[in-house]
Amino acid sequence: MKKNDWKERLNIVYSTNPDFAYDTGEETEDETLAKNQQKLRVRIEKNHRGGKTVTIVAGFIGSDSDLKELGKLLKTKCGVGGTAKEGEVIIQGDFKEKVVELLKHEGYTQTK
């Protein structure tokens, strides 16, 4: 059966071609690497943040949902706020040692 949901085709010019297949342009998410294969780097940053210190975990390869889960775990364990987007987890405050320790405890062995 042909899927004909008009909401998915908003802002599309009408086509009279009966064989026309609309491509949504959605990208497939990257496959998440195993925890022991992730090469995560933890650093402290202060630039462009209004003088506030943040801890950044960079180098995560995988889906956005897995990245958000990792961010939620780190934020909960540190008891602070933050965000997870574009392959990075940003934790508010200077928690470099604690984050490295938590990551190694969770199985991310290649963490610096």
Query: Residues with Cβ < 8 Å from 31, sequence gap 6 or more?
Result: 62, 63
Q: What is the mean predicted confidence (pLDDT) over 14-24?
A: 73
What pLDDT score was predicted for residue 56? 95
The Cα–Cα gap between 29 and 14 comes to 29
Burial class (CB in 10 A: 0-12, 13-18, 19+), 110: middle
List the domains of the chain with CATH numbers.
Answer: 29-111 (3.30.780.10)
Per the CB < 8 A criterion, the answer to whether 71 and 39 are in contact is no
- Stated pTM of the model: 0.71
The side-by-side arrangement of strands in the sheet containing 110-111 is 82-85, 88-92, 54-58, 39-45, 110-111
> What pLDDT, in 10s, does the model give residues 20-79?
776 666 666 668 888 888 899 999 999 888 889 999 999 999 888 999 999 999 999 999
